Amino acid sequence: MDIRYIRGSEVDKVKWNSCVHYATNGNIFGYMWYLDFVAKDWDALVEGDYESVFPLVWREGLLGRRELYQPALMREMGVYSIHVLSRPRIQAFLESIPSEFRNINIVVNEQNTPPEGAGFDIEQQANHQLFLGRPYEELFDGFSTHLASRLQQAEDEGLILTSSLKPETVADFYRRHSPAHSGLEHNYHALHRIMYNVLHRGWGFASGAMDRNQNLYAVNFFIYSHGKVLSLVPVESPEGRRLGALPYLFNALIRSHAGRPLILDFNAPEDKELAEQFGAQPNAFYRLKRDKRILGLI
C-alpha cells in the first residue's frame, strides 16, 4: 500500500476534495477549506493518487515539539477513502504517522474502527443521529414526553423562527453564550469563515428562535453534506433555555425536512440528552491517544 506523508502546503486541493467528496465515509470536516479554517497547521497522509487521505492537524507543544490534536469545531477526522476501509488499511495509515509526533490525541470517524494492538489508548464516544425519512407524525411519536412539553411551552411563549440571520449574528451570539475558554476567539473567527463559505456554496443556512420583539434566544447553523444535515453550533441563552428555544429550533428543522432521505447529525457528543429526547440513535466514533514523550515532556 503506497502511503506517503505530504506537507499541507503541497497537498493537491482538487484531488483531496474529490477524495473526501466521494469517500464512503465523507463528511464536511474533511474538505481542505474546512481544515484550513479550523487548523493553523496540518499535513497529510495520502494513499496512491489521493484514493485515501488522512489529515494530520498539528501544533507546537512543549519545547517546540509537534503534536497531533483535535481542533475545535471539528468533531472527527480520520482516513477518508473511496475504497472499503478495511482494518489493514486503517492499520497501515496509523503506522504511517511520522514518529516525530510523539504525543497524539485525535478523533477518528465511525468507519475508522481502530484494530486491536494499534498502539493507542482508545476511547469510544457516541454522536447521535436521527433519520428523517419518515412523516413528521411518526418522528414526533419518538419524542420524549418531556420534550413534547417543552415544545408546547415554546409555542405558548410565542417564539418565532427565522432563517435570515447573518453569520455575524450567529457568531456574536455564540461568543456571548458559549462558556469562556482559551480558544473562543479563534473559534469565533473560524465560525465566520465556515458559515460564509457554506452559504457561498449553497450548502446550508442559519436558523434562530426569537420573540416578537426580535430578542434572540437560540441560534444554529445547519450544513448539508453527504446525505446529512449537520448541526454546527447549537447555542441558547439562559432565557432561551428556560423557554425551550433550542428544542423548538431543532423541531422546526425536523418538521420541514421530514420525509426526506436525510440524517440529522446532532454533532454534540458531549451533550447527548437533547438528541436522545428527539429519539436520535447513538453512532460510535473513536478518540485515539498515544504519548511516547519521556515523563510527558520530551
Mean local confidence (pLDDT), 7-30: 97
What DSSP string runs through 184-196? HHHHHHHHHHHHH
C-alpha grid cell for residue 56? 494530520
Question: Residue 207 and residue 267: Cα distance in Å, rounded?
Answer: 16
Indicate the range of 40-49, 71-80, 175-184 predicted with least confidence.
175-184
Give the whole-angstrom CA distance, residue 165 versus residue 170: 7
User: Taking residues 28-42, what's their average pLDDT?
Assistant: 96
Question: Taking 60 as the threshold, does the pLDDT of residue 296 lie above it?
Answer: no
Looking at residue 124, its pLDDT comes to 94
Please determine, for residue 11, whether its predicted confidence score (pLDDT) is greater than 60: yes
How far apart, in whole angstroms, are the C-alpha atoms of residue 238 and residue 177?
A: 8
Q: What is the mean pLDDT of residues 170-179?
A: 92
The answer, yes or no, to whether residue 297 has pLDDT greater than 60, is no
Distance CA 249, CA 241 (A): 12
223-255: pLDDT as tens digits: 999 999 999 999 999 999 999 999 999 999 999
Angle between helical axes of 245-257 and 145-156 (0-180°, round to 10): 100
Q: How far is CA 142 from the centre of its chain?
A: 24
Would you state the torsion angle of the CA atoms of residues 114, 118, 120, 123, taken in this order, to the nearest 10 degrees? Answer: 20
110 has a pLDDT exceeding 60? yes
Q: What are phi and psi of 205, to 5 degrees?
A: -160, 155
pLDDT of residue 179: 80
CA distances in angstroms from 122 to 61, 62, 105, 114, 262, listed in the order given: 22, 23, 10, 8, 30
What pLDDT sits at residue 8? Answer: 94
Query: Can you list the domains of the chain with their CATH numbers?
Result: 3-126+284-296 (3.40.630.30), 133-261 (3.40.630.30)
Q: What is the mean pLDDT of the chain?
A: 94
Which pLDDT band, with edges at 50, 70 and 90, does 258 fall under?
Answer: very high
- CA–CA distance from 160 to each of 205, 231, 277 (Å)? 17, 19, 22
pLDDT in tens, 185-230: 889 999 999 999 999 999 999 999 999 999 999 999 999 999 999 9
Q: Which cell numbers in the block locate residue 169?
A: 449574528
Residues ≥6 apart with Cβ < 8 Å to 196:
167
